[in-house]
Structure 1
Amino acid sequence: MNYIIKEGTVNELMCIENNIPEFSSAKSHAEINAKIDARSHILLVAYVNEQPVAYKLGYAKSSSLFYSWLGAVLPDFRGQGIAKALLMRQEAYVRECGFQAIEVKSMNRFKRMLQMLITHDYQIVHCKRLDDNSDSKITFRKNL
Protein backbone atom coordinates (compact mmCIF):
# COMPACT_ATOMS: atom_id res chain seq x y z
CA MET A 1 0.00 0.00 0.00
CA ASN A 2 1.32 3.41 -0.93
CA TYR A 3 0.93 6.23 1.55
CA ILE A 4 2.54 9.59 2.15
CA ILE A 5 3.13 11.37 5.44
CA LYS A 6 3.08 15.13 5.81
CA GLU A 7 2.00 17.75 8.30
CA GLY A 8 -1.77 17.81 8.55
CA THR A 9 -4.61 19.76 10.09
CA VAL A 10 -6.80 19.26 13.13
CA ASN A 11 -9.78 18.83 10.76
CA GLU A 12 -8.03 15.87 9.13
CA LEU A 13 -7.20 14.45 12.55
CA MET A 14 -10.88 14.72 13.52
CA CYS A 15 -11.95 12.76 10.40
CA ILE A 16 -9.75 9.91 11.60
CA GLU A 17 -10.43 10.28 15.35
CA ASN A 18 -14.19 10.05 14.87
CA ASN A 19 -13.81 6.72 13.05
CA ILE A 20 -11.68 4.81 15.55
CA PRO A 21 -13.92 2.16 17.13
CA GLU A 22 -11.64 1.61 20.16
CA PHE A 23 -12.01 5.22 21.31
CA SER A 24 -14.92 5.43 23.74
CA SER A 25 -14.99 9.22 23.41
CA ALA A 26 -13.20 11.05 20.66
CA LYS A 27 -11.33 14.25 21.48
CA SER A 28 -13.08 17.44 20.39
CA HIS A 29 -11.62 19.98 18.00
CA ALA A 30 -11.65 22.57 20.81
CA GLU A 31 -9.91 20.21 23.25
CA ILE A 32 -7.14 19.48 20.77
CA ASN A 33 -6.61 23.14 19.90
CA ALA A 34 -6.56 24.12 23.58
CA LYS A 35 -3.84 21.54 24.29
CA ILE A 36 -1.54 22.48 21.40
CA ASP A 37 -2.22 26.23 21.26
CA ALA A 38 0.94 28.23 22.01
CA ARG A 39 3.04 25.04 22.27
CA SER A 40 5.61 23.75 19.86
CA HIS A 41 3.87 20.77 18.24
CA ILE A 42 3.71 18.58 15.18
CA LEU A 43 0.68 16.91 13.65
CA LEU A 44 1.63 14.25 11.13
CA VAL A 45 -1.02 12.70 8.89
CA ALA A 46 -0.68 9.68 6.62
CA TYR A 47 -2.66 9.77 3.38
CA VAL A 48 -3.70 7.02 1.00
CA ASN A 49 -5.03 8.32 -2.31
CA GLU A 50 -5.13 11.81 -0.73
CA GLN A 51 -7.44 10.61 2.07
CA PRO A 52 -6.24 10.93 5.68
CA VAL A 53 -5.98 7.45 7.22
CA ALA A 54 -3.73 7.92 10.27
CA TYR A 55 -2.25 10.61 12.46
CA LYS A 56 0.26 11.28 15.24
CA LEU A 57 0.12 14.47 17.30
CA GLY A 58 2.62 15.57 19.90
CA TYR A 59 3.81 18.70 21.65
CA ALA A 60 6.61 20.10 23.79
CA LYS A 61 6.09 19.57 27.52
CA SER A 62 9.34 21.36 28.27
CA SER A 63 12.48 22.40 26.43
CA SER A 64 13.85 18.87 26.82
CA LEU A 65 10.72 16.64 26.81
CA PHE A 66 8.33 16.04 23.91
CA TYR A 67 5.00 14.34 24.57
CA SER A 68 3.49 12.14 21.86
CA TRP A 69 -0.12 12.76 22.82
CA LEU A 70 -2.49 11.23 20.26
CA GLY A 71 -2.30 8.79 17.41
CA ALA A 72 -4.52 6.42 15.49
CA VAL A 73 -4.81 4.41 12.28
CA LEU A 74 -8.17 3.68 10.66
CA PRO A 75 -9.00 -0.04 11.00
CA ASP A 76 -8.86 -0.75 7.25
CA PHE A 77 -5.28 0.55 7.07
CA ARG A 78 -3.72 -1.21 10.06
CA GLY A 79 -0.90 -3.71 9.70
CA GLN A 80 0.68 -1.78 6.82
CA GLY A 81 3.51 -0.11 8.76
CA ILE A 82 1.83 3.30 8.85
CA ALA A 83 1.92 3.66 12.66
CA LYS A 84 5.62 2.76 12.68
CA ALA A 85 6.34 5.26 9.90
CA LEU A 86 4.52 8.00 11.83
CA LEU A 87 6.45 7.12 14.99
CA MET A 88 9.78 7.26 13.16
CA ARG A 89 8.93 10.57 11.47
CA GLN A 90 7.89 12.07 14.80
CA GLU A 91 11.10 10.86 16.45
CA ALA A 92 13.18 12.45 13.67
CA TYR A 93 11.35 15.76 14.18
CA VAL A 94 11.87 15.59 17.96
CA ARG A 95 15.61 14.92 17.52
CA GLU A 96 15.97 17.75 14.99
CA CYS A 97 14.32 20.15 17.45
CA GLY A 98 16.83 19.23 20.15
CA PHE A 99 14.57 17.45 22.63
CA GLN A 100 16.32 14.97 24.93
CA ALA A 101 13.43 12.55 25.43
CA ILE A 102 10.02 11.60 24.08
CA GLU A 103 7.19 10.33 26.25
CA VAL A 104 3.97 8.55 25.30
CA LYS A 105 1.11 6.94 27.21
CA SER A 106 -1.00 4.02 26.12
CA MET A 107 -3.50 1.64 27.60
CA ASN A 108 -2.74 -1.99 28.34
CA ARG A 109 -5.56 -3.04 25.99
CA PHE A 110 -3.72 -1.61 22.95
CA LYS A 111 -1.32 -4.55 22.62
CA ARG A 112 0.00 -3.68 19.15
CA MET A 113 0.90 -0.16 20.30
CA LEU A 114 2.69 -1.51 23.38
CA GLN A 115 4.66 -3.96 21.23
CA MET A 116 5.63 -1.24 18.75
CA LEU A 117 6.88 1.06 21.51
CA ILE A 118 8.92 -1.65 23.22
CA THR A 119 10.38 -2.76 19.87
CA HIS A 120 11.54 0.83 19.26
CA ASP A 121 13.36 1.15 22.59
CA TYR A 122 10.69 2.93 24.62
CA GLN A 123 10.99 2.07 28.30
CA ILE A 124 8.08 1.71 30.72
CA VAL A 125 8.50 4.41 33.37
CA HIS A 126 5.08 4.32 35.06
CA CYS A 127 1.95 2.20 35.19
CA LYS A 128 -1.32 3.23 36.81
CA ARG A 129 -4.46 1.13 37.18
CA LEU A 130 -7.63 3.00 36.21
CA ASP A 131 -9.98 3.83 39.08
CA ASP A 132 -12.60 1.39 37.78
CA ASN A 133 -9.95 -1.37 37.42
CA SER A 134 -10.88 -1.85 33.76
CA ASP A 135 -7.39 -1.22 32.39
CA SER A 136 -3.98 0.31 33.11
CA LYS A 137 -2.37 3.42 31.65
CA ILE A 138 1.30 2.84 30.84
CA THR A 139 3.80 5.66 30.41
CA PHE A 140 6.78 5.05 28.13
CA ARG A 141 9.88 7.19 27.64
CA LYS A 142 12.66 7.09 25.11
CA ASN A 143 15.87 9.04 25.66
CA LEU A 144 17.21 10.47 22.42
Structure 2
Amino acid sequence: MQNEFEIKSSTLEHVLEVEAQIPEFGAPKKADDLEKRLANAKMLPLVAYHRGKPIAYKLGYALNEDTFYSWLGAVIPAYRGRGIARALLLRQEAWCEAEGFSAIEVKTMNQFKTMLQMLISHDYHIVSVKENADPRLVKIRCRKLLG
Protein backbone atom coordinates (compact mmCIF):
# COMPACT_ATOMS: atom_id res chain seq x y z
CA MET A 1 0.00 0.00 0.00
CA GLN A 2 2.94 2.36 0.65
CA ASN A 3 3.36 2.88 -3.09
CA GLU A 4 -0.37 3.13 -3.61
CA PHE A 5 -0.94 6.34 -1.68
CA GLU A 6 0.41 9.84 -2.04
CA ILE A 7 0.66 12.44 0.71
CA LYS A 8 0.59 16.13 -0.04
CA SER A 9 -0.39 19.47 1.42
CA SER A 10 -4.01 19.88 0.43
CA THR A 11 -7.27 21.72 1.06
CA LEU A 12 -9.57 21.90 4.04
CA GLU A 13 -12.30 20.63 1.71
CA HIS A 14 -10.45 17.33 1.30
CA VAL A 15 -9.81 17.18 5.07
CA LEU A 16 -13.56 17.49 5.64
CA GLU A 17 -14.29 14.85 3.00
CA VAL A 18 -12.29 12.34 5.04
CA GLU A 19 -13.61 13.64 8.38
CA ALA A 20 -17.19 12.90 7.32
CA GLN A 21 -16.30 9.21 6.82
CA ILE A 22 -14.89 8.52 10.28
CA PRO A 23 -17.40 6.51 12.35
CA GLU A 24 -15.66 7.25 15.69
CA PHE A 25 -16.37 10.96 15.30
CA GLY A 26 -19.89 11.45 16.61
CA ALA A 27 -19.92 15.05 15.43
CA PRO A 28 -17.58 15.51 12.46
CA LYS A 29 -15.99 18.93 12.16
CA LYS A 30 -17.58 21.39 9.73
CA ALA A 31 -15.95 24.08 7.60
CA ASP A 32 -16.87 26.75 10.17
CA ASP A 33 -15.13 24.77 12.95
CA LEU A 34 -11.91 24.63 10.96
CA GLU A 35 -12.02 28.22 9.75
CA LYS A 36 -12.62 29.54 13.27
CA ARG A 37 -9.70 27.59 14.77
CA LEU A 38 -7.30 28.18 11.89
CA ALA A 39 -7.98 31.86 11.20
CA ASN A 40 -4.65 33.67 10.77
CA ALA A 41 -2.67 30.60 11.89
CA LYS A 42 0.22 29.01 10.04
CA MET A 43 -1.23 25.60 9.23
CA LEU A 44 -0.47 22.36 7.46
CA PRO A 45 -3.36 20.32 6.02
CA LEU A 46 -1.82 17.02 4.89
CA VAL A 47 -4.01 14.59 2.97
CA ALA A 48 -3.23 11.05 1.81
CA TYR A 49 -4.74 10.05 -1.52
CA HIS A 50 -5.37 6.64 -3.06
CA ARG A 51 -5.96 6.85 -6.81
CA GLY A 52 -6.86 10.52 -6.43
CA LYS A 53 -9.37 9.95 -3.62
CA PRO A 54 -8.72 11.50 -0.16
CA ILE A 55 -8.41 8.63 2.34
CA ALA A 56 -6.69 10.17 5.38
CA TYR A 57 -5.55 13.48 6.79
CA LYS A 58 -3.47 15.18 9.47
CA LEU A 59 -4.20 18.82 10.24
CA GLY A 60 -2.23 21.10 12.51
CA TYR A 61 -1.27 24.69 13.13
CA ALA A 62 1.30 26.84 14.91
CA LEU A 63 0.55 27.57 18.56
CA ASN A 64 3.48 29.98 18.59
CA GLU A 65 6.90 30.33 16.94
CA ASP A 66 8.25 27.22 18.65
CA THR A 67 5.33 24.80 19.00
CA PHE A 68 3.14 23.21 16.36
CA TYR A 69 -0.19 21.68 17.43
CA SER A 70 -1.22 18.52 15.61
CA TRP A 71 -4.94 19.10 15.98
CA LEU A 72 -6.86 16.51 13.97
CA GLY A 73 -6.19 13.38 12.00
CA ALA A 74 -7.97 10.29 10.74
CA VAL A 75 -7.83 7.40 8.29
CA ILE A 76 -10.95 6.04 6.59
CA PRO A 77 -11.58 2.57 8.12
CA ALA A 78 -11.05 0.61 4.88
CA TYR A 79 -7.49 2.00 4.67
CA ARG A 80 -6.36 1.49 8.27
CA GLY A 81 -3.45 -0.74 9.23
CA ARG A 82 -1.41 0.16 6.16
CA GLY A 83 0.99 2.70 7.64
CA ILE A 84 -0.84 5.77 6.38
CA ALA A 85 -1.23 7.46 9.78
CA ARG A 86 2.47 6.86 10.47
CA ALA A 87 3.43 8.28 7.08
CA LEU A 88 1.33 11.39 7.76
CA LEU A 89 2.93 11.79 11.21
CA LEU A 90 6.44 11.54 9.77
CA ARG A 91 5.64 14.00 6.97
CA GLN A 92 4.22 16.46 9.51
CA GLU A 93 7.31 16.13 11.71
CA ALA A 94 9.65 16.73 8.76
CA TRP A 95 7.70 19.82 7.74
CA CYS A 96 7.72 21.17 11.31
CA GLU A 97 11.49 20.73 11.59
CA ALA A 98 12.03 22.41 8.21
CA GLU A 99 9.82 25.31 9.35
CA GLY A 100 11.88 25.77 12.53
CA PHE A 101 9.48 24.45 15.15
CA SER A 102 11.15 22.92 18.20
CA ALA A 103 8.18 20.86 19.42
CA ILE A 104 4.91 19.26 18.38
CA GLU A 105 1.97 18.83 20.75
CA VAL A 106 -1.02 16.58 20.24
CA LYS A 107 -4.02 15.52 22.32
CA THR A 108 -5.72 12.16 22.17
CA MET A 109 -8.02 10.07 24.32
CA ASN A 110 -7.79 6.59 25.82
CA GLN A 111 -10.40 5.37 23.36
CA PHE A 112 -7.93 5.96 20.51
CA LYS A 113 -5.38 3.41 21.69
CA THR A 114 -3.75 2.91 18.29
CA MET A 115 -3.05 6.64 18.07
CA LEU A 116 -1.61 6.73 21.59
CA GLN A 117 0.61 3.73 20.86
CA MET A 118 1.86 5.32 17.64
CA LEU A 119 2.67 8.59 19.42
CA ILE A 120 4.60 6.86 22.20
CA SER A 121 6.51 4.71 19.71
CA HIS A 122 7.61 7.90 17.90
CA ASP A 123 9.05 9.60 21.01
CA TYR A 124 6.02 11.65 22.03
CA HIS A 125 5.86 11.97 25.81
CA ILE A 126 2.74 12.28 27.92
CA VAL A 127 2.84 15.70 29.56
CA SER A 128 -0.65 15.92 31.06
CA VAL A 129 -3.83 13.96 31.59
CA LYS A 130 -7.34 15.31 32.06
CA GLU A 131 -9.45 12.90 34.07
CA ASN A 132 -12.96 11.82 33.13
CA ALA A 133 -15.48 9.55 34.84
CA ASP A 134 -15.47 7.47 31.65
CA PRO A 135 -11.92 6.09 31.28
CA ARG A 136 -12.27 6.00 27.48
CA LEU A 137 -12.70 9.78 27.49
CA VAL A 138 -9.58 10.61 29.52
CA LYS A 139 -7.70 13.25 27.51
CA ILE A 140 -3.96 12.80 27.08
CA ARG A 141 -1.63 15.60 25.94
CA CYS A 142 1.66 14.54 24.39
CA ARG A 143 4.70 16.50 23.29
CA LYS A 144 7.68 15.68 21.10
CA LEU A 145 10.85 17.76 21.01
CA LEU A 146 12.25 18.13 17.50
CA GLY A 147 15.82 18.36 16.32
TM over 0.5: yes
* Greater mean alpha carbon deviation, residues 133-142 or residues 119-128: 133-142
Paired amino acid for 1:119: S
Q: How far apart are 1:130 and its partner, in Å?
A: 3.1
Q: Pick closer, same or farther for the CA change 1:91–1:134 going to 2, 3 Å.
A: closer
Q: Which residue of 1 aligns with 2:23?
A: 21
RMSD, matched Cα: 1.1
Q: Paired residues, what number?
A: 144
Residue 141 (structure 1) aligns with: 143
Structure 1 residue 35: Cα displacement: 1.0
1:83 counterpart (79, 82, 85): 85
**Any stretches of 5+ residues in structure 2 without a counterpart?**
none
> Structure 1: which 5+ residue stretches go unaligned?
none
Match of 2:101 among 99, 102, 109: 99
Query: In the alignment, does 2:129 pair up with 1:127?
Result: yes
Closer, same or farther: CA 108–134 of 1 in aligned 2, 3 Å: closer
Find 2:47's aligned residue among 27, 45, 48.
45
TM-score (norm 2): 0.94
Cα shift at 1:134 = 5.2
Shift of 1:80: 0.4
Instruction: Spell out, residue by residue over 1:39-98, the C-alpha distance to the aligned partner (whole angstroms, 9 max, x if none).
Output: 111000000010000000000001111000000000000000000000000000100111
Offset at residue 129 of structure 1 (A) = 1.7
Structure 2 partner of 1:116: 118
Given the superposition, is the C-alpha separation of residues 27 and 131 from structure 1 closer, same or farther in structure 2, using an over 3 Å criterion? Answer: farther
Displaced runs of 4 or more, over 6 A:
none
1:31 aligns with 2:56: no
Q: Match for 1:54 among 53, 56, 59?
A: 56
SS at match of 2:106: strand
User: Contact 2:111–2:136 at 8 Å: present in 1 too?
Assistant: no
